[in-house]
Amino acid sequence: MTAQMFDLSGKIAVVTGATGVLCRAICHGLAEAGATPVVIARDKVRIDALVDELSQKGSHALGISADVLDKTALQAASSVIMDTFGRIDILINGAGGNRADATSMPGERTFFDLPQEAFQWVFNLNFMGSILASQVFGEVMSKQHAGVILNISSMASYQPLTRVVAYSAAKAAINNFTHWFAVYMAKEHSTAIRVNAIAPGFFLGEQNRYLLIDQKTGQLTERGQRIIDHTPMNRFGDAEDLIGTVIWLVSDASRFVTGIVVPVDGGFMAYKGV
């Protein structure tokens, strides 16, 4: 009985930003739990590579190239998914990240120097990308009267981190949206539609590596060392560390859970340094 609660067999799971480090692992986890991942990202080469990996594991994964900031492209993707599978059971809003020119750095750029375009790009990708995808794929769920949406937040949403001002603001907005959307879907559409989020701690990815690892020496930067010092589990997260929490939140194992943001952070949020 317990194992069946976590079983995702037959579920169609749309994952945006699917080819990133974290969501790539999540796609593999979903497939291993029985779901069929729909891989959505911009780079077709990387999409095809991930779909091939999943196919080798026996998954009938589908890959679609689309920009989460292009609602028309997302609507086209939704049409393809519905024509292929006839339903959407899970949406994981994984598209996100940061940009160097939206990051304040001592001796390079202050907050006052951050270009509006860079700030707006980071905020839009992390917040509006989730809003638009939730509008498009969430509408399908509203007509089905069932579904699960999982947003990707961050430790930066709880306690704004130095340097990444646009990213922190966007992730804080994600938390607020997760609470709001959970209530909206349950009250106005169906109590069988749930909305939650996970807040990863510090995981090494393509867009934050330059802040945490010195490119010349391969050693921790000062910032990276401070993070490790304030993480009781004394390491960065591995992408696979997210899979268990994700499976719990998108499966029937959490069928009475909606409107929450779950930290997956090695204890970072709990530790105040004393």
Ordered per-residue pLDDT tens for the chain, 274 residues: 788 999 999 999 999 999 999 999 999 999 999 999 999 999 999 999 999 999 999 999 999 999 999 999 999 999 999 999 999 999 999 999 999 899 998 888 999 999 999 999 999 999 999 999 999 999 999 999 999 999 999 999 998 888 899 999 999 999 999 999 999 999 999 999 999 999 999 998 766 776 788 878 988 988 889 999 999 999 999 999 999 999 999 999 999 999 999 999 999 999 988 8
d(C-alpha 124, C-alpha 129), whole Å: 6
Cα dihedral 265, 68, 24, 170 in deg (nearest 10): -10
Query: Which of 62, 1, 14 minimizes the C-alpha distance to 250?
Result: 14
d(C-alpha 158, C-alpha 94), whole Å: 18
Cα atoms in the 13 Å half-sphere on the side-chain side of 220:
12
Give me the domain span that covers residue 173. Answer: 2-201+237-264
With a pLDDT cut of 90, the percent of the chain lying above it is 85
Please list, residue by residue across 77-115, b when 16 or more beta carbons sit within 10 angstroms of its beta carbon and e when fewer do.
bbeebeeebeebbbbbbbbbbbbebbbbeeeebeeeebe
Position 220 in a domain: no
Position 274 in a domain: no
d(C-alpha 245, C-alpha 176), whole Å: 20
Position 172 in a domain: yes
In the chain, how many domains are there? 1
Position 272 in a domain: no
Q: Write down the catalytic residue from 158, 167, 210, 271.
A: 167
What's the one-letter identity of residue 13?
A: A
What was the pLDDT predicted at 105? 87
Instruction: Provide the 10 A C-beta neighbour count for residue 217.
Output: 8
Does 184 qualify as catalytic in the annotation?
Answer: no
The CATH number of the domain holding residue 9 is 3.40.50.720
Position 41 in a domain: yes
Which positions ≥6 away from 56 have C-beta within 8 Å? Answer: none
What was the pLDDT predicted at 185? 98
Position 37 in a domain: yes
Give the tokens for residue 26.
């999540």
Please list, residue by residue across 127-151, b when 16 or more beta carbons sit within 10 angstroms of its beta carbon and e when fewer do.
bbbbbbbbebbbebbeebebbbbbb
Position 207 in a domain: no
Angle of helix 129-144 relative to helix 71-85, nearest 10 degrees?
30
Position 225 in a domain: no
End-to-end CA distance of the chain: 43
H or E element, residue 119: helix 116-123
Do the beta carbons of residue 127 and residue 69 sit within 8 Å?
no
Query: pLDDT (tens digit, 9 = 90+) per residue, 62-92?
Result: 999 999 999 999 999 999 999 999 999 999 9
| pTM listed for this prediction | 0.94
